Structure 1
Amino acid sequence: MSDNIKIHNKSSRPDNIVIRDNHKIEKCIEIQNKLPSFMKDYFIYLKGSVSVSSRLAYLEDILFFCQYLVETHEHTNVNDTSEITLSDFSSIKARDINLFLGEYCSRYYKKIGNNTMIFENNNRALARKKSSLSTLFKFLYRNEQLHENITDGFNPIKLPKPQPDAIKRLDIDEVAIMLDAVESGNGLTEREKIYWKKTKLRDKAILALFVTYGLRLNELRELNISSFNFSRGEFTIFRKRGKEVLMPINKTCEYVVKDYIENERPNSEEIPEEHRDALFLSLQKKRITERAITSLVKKYSSISMCTSRDKGYSPHKLRATAATSLIQNGFTIYDVQNLLDHDNVTTTQLYAAHKKNVKRDIVKNFEWLAEKNTDDDSIE
């Protein structure tokens, strides 16, 4: 897509969200043009039934499978993925999919330039590929293009059950150290302090929003000036699957965001038009990148944990930090589920397992009988 294309946006969504999704749609169309024409009905089905991100992920997995068929000459003799026929697909059995996932995908080689790269997929990645192929084959069967539903024969892929103890997050005192580091510069190298002086208000606002609301990386990056309505005490988040959510803003976050906007963020006339509404900007006066946000989070979290920069935590660990901190402060898992936009409350329950001494606290504060002071008892 040309960078000069303008978006005619009449929706309530800001231009940056529309443009972001449009880039993904363009990628979807590009992949669809490389896939067989008999999948056209399936493309329409995806367009109306899943989010743009899921649609892109499914199409990438299906293209990968079709490339495998062409490269290995399994079930087809064509030289291009777009030439694969429905008849070729009709010859594919469940066993072929199981071999593709279990044997080929787990470890395969690709020639890239003069180098041969080794690629490996863990069970989570294999499960996603299996899901993409299951969706395709089920649709082709329901659409009466295939005479057999082979998906029942796909081997199960066991995913490790998440363990509460494996969830990495900062303790409350470590959050305090992290926020102090961005406030004072403590723990930064002399080189880091050069940039810190230019971005400390921005970085403080980013960290405060992460640990208060448990925002996803992309949710924070896509925030705009227009996302905030300070007079009403709220701001708008654009979440996965196109969900638009109004979030109340507390005094701390209102202060740090306003402080950044008024005292550090460049004036509007200095910012390129396409980035003028972006809340968080780079030193180049462009919307900050996901990589830059990840880098600053790892930097400040590593200071709080007294470890090296590469051992610092990612933004997702601050999401876990927000969840466990809220639960430790007495909020229910359903409150936290709603705030963090968890699809399933079982995800939130993993964070609840970090609440320390919960059984002891419950029992201690639920005494049926008053404690008897034996020292005051008279002996008759």
Structure 2
Amino acid sequence: MNNDKILKIHNKSDKPDNIVLRDNDIIERCIQVENKLPKFMKDYFIYLKGSVAVSTRLAYLDDIYFFCNYLIEIKEHTEASITKELSLSEFNNIKARDVNLFLGDYCSRYYKQTNKSTLIYENNNRALARKKSSLSTLFKFLYRNEQIDNNITDGFNPIKLPKPQPDAIKRLDIDEVAKMLDSVETGQGLTEKEKIYWKKTKLRDKAILALFVTYGLRLNELRELNISSFNFSRGEFKIYRKRGKEVLMPINNTCELVVKDYILNERPKSEMLSEDLKDALFLSLQNKRLTARAIRDLVKKYTSISMDTSRDNGYSPHKLRATAATSLIQNGFSIYDVQNLLDHDNVTTTQLYAAHKKNVKRDIVNNFEWIDEDDNH
């Protein structure tokens, strides 16, 4: 018999229940990690709760737990056998050099033994930079909180991140977007087995792809959409972005048509669904909210058809985000408008997509001649 208690939501916020549940799941995972860490970090845990998004909080805690395990593994800074036993005095003795060795030597490549094999883990500079950031917040806080004597973070080695190159941005061209949407409309390019499922889900898949390429939504922003997210009379829909931001998006005619078509003509009626799924927008054939993996597989399938390549070489939803950004800029929208629509933290991210506009400028100028060649004769 399953003794797990049923989680009931008493929701008085504006957030839909699925967003509340998602955040609660992350918070529970945060608490599990905190329970494995030393008690002297309690003030830091409270600081994280109030200063960063729940997903960032979990990432920081995981990185700090990983560092604490490293201290126990190398046995140079502590006699503790478990992370919870690490003491504040031991942390007070940690120097910047110790953190630099952890990041630069241990983290770049480390090994984990299992019963049957040895696993090799490698971290690129982006992953190392995040671990450095996590440890920086901890040591800065402990110093500000007068728990350790020195702020050692000034001595942390810089970690150089590769500068993103505009030419390396993967996205669909406009004709490939058209081919992708055509394939979901007609089934062209699908295998016979895929067509069996396509007949049952083509309206859903078309709505998903249209929302991705129009708005450049992140995967979870799309996955968490509900029927109640849409207010068709006002011509808008609501999404929940990173850091809990609630954003209203205007809905264009195309997206309104495909979403309504799916809801009215393919999605199971709400009375057939369990209480917690009556409002969920995009459902699987098992009448459950689509998983992130299912959405990735769906996008890879249709993008591979549009590019005439294998399913493995199809694009991820994030590449459709890049497609939306590039297409908007090529159609004349300013980088600041596109930055706002896609929720880029920094306009330099959006400028990468603007670099693709160079050829468009050349085409415009070449096709806009004031003096006819014949006028010179």
TM range (shorter): over 0.9
Q: Name stretches of at least 5 consecutive residues in structure 2 with no aligned partner.
A: none
Q: Quick one: structure 1 residues 273 and 185, their matched pair in 2 at CA, closer, same or farther if it must change by over 3 Å?
A: same
Distance verdict in 2 for CA 1:91–1:328, change over 3 Å? same
Match of 2:15 in 1: 13
Counterpart residue type for residue 104 of structure 2:
G
- Out of 118, 122, 125, the position equivalent to 1:123 is 125
In the TM superposition, residue 352 of structure 1 has moved relative to its aligned partner by: 0.5
Counterpart-to-counterpart distance in 2, 1:221 and 1:2: 26
Cα-to-partner distance string for 1:53-83 (whole Å, 9 max, x where unaligned): 1000000000000011112213001111000
Shift of 1:374: 7.0
Counterpart amino acid of 2:49?
K
What is the CA–CA distance in structure 1 between the aligned matches of 2:321 and 2:5, rounded to whole Å?
A: 33
Q: Tell me how far apart the structure 2 counterparts of residues 44 and 246 of structure 1 sit (CA, whole Å).
A: 31
CA contact (8 A) 1:123 1:158 kept: yes
> How far off its partner does 1:376 sit?
8.3
Local SS of the residue matching 1:371: coil
Give CA deviations for 1:297-338 in whole Å, capped at 9, x if unaligned: 000000000000000000000000000000111111011001
Following superposition of structure 1 onto structure 2, how do residues 198-347 of structure 1 map, counting pairs within 5 Å?
198-347=200-349
Distance 1:113 1:282, change over 3 A: farther
**Whole-angstrom distance in 2 between the partners of 1:205 and 1:247:** 16
SS at match of 2:134: helix
Structure 1 stretches of 4+ with a deviation exceeding 4 A read 361-367, 372-377
The answer to whether the Cα contact below 8 Å between 1:328 and 1:356 also exists between their aligned partners in 2 is no
Structure-2 separation of matches of 1:362 and 1:282: 45
**Equivalence for 1:371:** 371
How far apart are 1:274 and its partner, in Å? 1.2
Residue 54 of structure 1 is matched in structure 2 by 56
1:293 and 1:303 mapped to 2: Cα distance?
A: 16
Q: What secondary structure, in the 3-state scheme, does the structure 2 residue paired with 1:27 have?
A: helix
> Which residue identity is paired with 1:303?
I
Query: CA distance change for structure 1 residues 306 and 358 in 2, over 3 Å: closer, same or farther?
Result: closer
Using the alignment, how far apart are the partners of 1:183 and 1:372 within structure 2? Answer: 44
Deviations 1:81-129 (A, max 9, x none): 0000001101110111011011110111112343221111000000000
Match of 1:269, as an amino acid? E
What is the distance in 2 between the residues matched to 1:111 and 1:261?
50
User: Identity over aligned residues, as a percent?
Assistant: 79
Alpha-carbon spacing, 1:374–1:7, altered in 2? closer, same or farther (3 Å): closer
Return closer, same or farther for 1:70/1:283 CA change in 2, 3 Å cut-off.
Answer: same
Whichever residue aligns with residue 32 of structure 1, its letter is: E
Residue 110 of structure 2 aligns to a residue in which SS?
strand
Which of the numbers 41, 44, 59 marks the counterpart of 1:42?
A: 44
Matched, 1:357 2:353: no
* Residues 179-194 of structure 1: pairs in structure 2 closer than 5 A: 179-194=181-196
Which residue of the other structure, out of 132, 135, 138, is the alignment partner of 1:136? Answer: 138
CA distance in 2: counterparts of 1:267 and 1:16, whole angstroms: 19
Deviation string 1:266-291 (CA, Å, 9 cap, x unpaired) is 11121121111110001110100000
Aligned position for 2:155: 153
SS in 1 for 2:290: coil
For 1:164 and 1:179, locate their aligned partners in 2 and report how far apart those are by CA, in whole Å.
Answer: 25
With normalisation by structure 2, the TM-score equals 0.96
Structure 2 distance, partners of 1:247, 1:222, is 15
**Match of 2:371, as an amino acid?**
E
Could you tell which deviates more after superposition, 270-279 or 97-106?
270-279
CA RMSD of aligned residues (A): 1.7
State the AA in 2 paired with 1:170.
L
Query: Quick check: 1:127–1:157 contact (8 Å CA) kept in 2?
Result: yes
Mapping for residues 98-109 of structure 1, pairs under 5 Å: 98-109=100-111
C-alpha contact (below 8 Å) 1:272/1:286 kept by paired residues? no
